[in-house]
Structure formats: structure tokens, C-alpha cells
Amino acid sequence: MNLDLIARLVEILKNAPELGAIEVRRGPFGLWSAVRVARTGHGGNTAGAGAAGGPHVAGSAGTEGGALAPAGASAAAPAAPTPPAPAVQLVEIKSPMVGTFYAAPEPGAEPYVKVGSRVAPGQVVCIIEAMKIMNEIESEVAGVVREVLVENAQPVEFGQPLFRVDPHA
């Protein structure tokens, strides 16, 4: 493991009280497959349990340190200028794992949620199949679903946005 990378992750966690955990997953050949940062007060995944990771602030990395800022850069500094925020702040429900997205509990059934559906924390919003295990993904935010960003039976990546929810509706 790259000790400089670990030290930077610990420093990020120490300097950001709103963060509750940093999870680093390694893939084959020792390469970093994913880095997940969870906010305080939000439950994270327990190994294979299928609990929702909820809104995350992280991305995938193909190689060591690929998704992190260079050693001299500030962890909070954006890599590129961000566009102005829209008037309504939507919260994303992101995939806590790699797998296949299913909108309904079984083929032909009504989807768990669709655009306009009201969701509550703990409510199942979809299933992600990973290694033949069906993982129910729960919402960690209350509000109205404004966008469904994934098609049924579509492969999804770790941290990929699945839904956008308006928490103020």
C-alpha cells in the first residue's frame, strides 16, 4: 500500500468533521478499485449486507491515487471550475457497489420508485445485483424523486448516481 496515499486520506478525514468514514477497496493486482467517503450520521455498507451507502463524496480510481488530488494540492480544491448551482439543490442517491441495477423487485413488477415518487429514509429504491446477490438499496434522504438516471438491467459503477431527489418538496 502507498503510505503517502493513506496519510492523505487520514488527513482528509481529520480535517473534515462532516465525514464519518473513508473506505478504500483494492482490486486485482493491488490496484485501487474504489475510494468511498461517507458523511457522518449515514450508515455505510457492511460487507455484502446490501445497506445503502447513500449520498457519497467519492469516485473510482483505476490505479493508486488516481482519483485523489496531487500531494501538494488541497483536498478540498476542485480540479476544475464548477458550474453555477441550480436553483433547486437535488440530492443524489448513488450506487454503493458495482453491479446490475433493477428498478423493481421482480420482472414485470412495478418499480420501487419513479419520477414523482415520494421517498423516506430507509425506503428501498432499487436493487443492485452483485455476484448473484440481490442487494436492496435504501434512500437516506426524504423527498420527491425528480430524476431516475439509470435504465432497468443496466450495469452500474460504484458511486454512480442512480436517482436525484428534491429534499425540499
Render 74-126 in DSSP notation, one character per residue: -TTS-SSPPPPPPSS-PEEEE-SSSEEEESSSSTTSPPS--TT-EE-TT-EEE
Domain assignment of residue 123, yes or no: yes
pLDDT score, position 31: 58
pTM score of the predicted model: 0.50
Query: Which of 21, 81, 13, 12 has the alpha carbon at shortest distance from 46?
Result: 21
Q: How many domains does the chain have?
A: 1
pLDDT at residue 75 tops 50: no
CATH number, domain of 124, equals 2.40.50.100
**What residue numbers bound the domain in which 105 lies?**
91-166
Domain assignment of residue 12, yes or no: no
pLDDT in tens, 16-39: 767 666 666 665 555 555 666 666
* Residue 3 CB burial class (10 angstroms; 0-12, 13-18, ≥19): exposed
Average pLDDT over the chain reads: 73
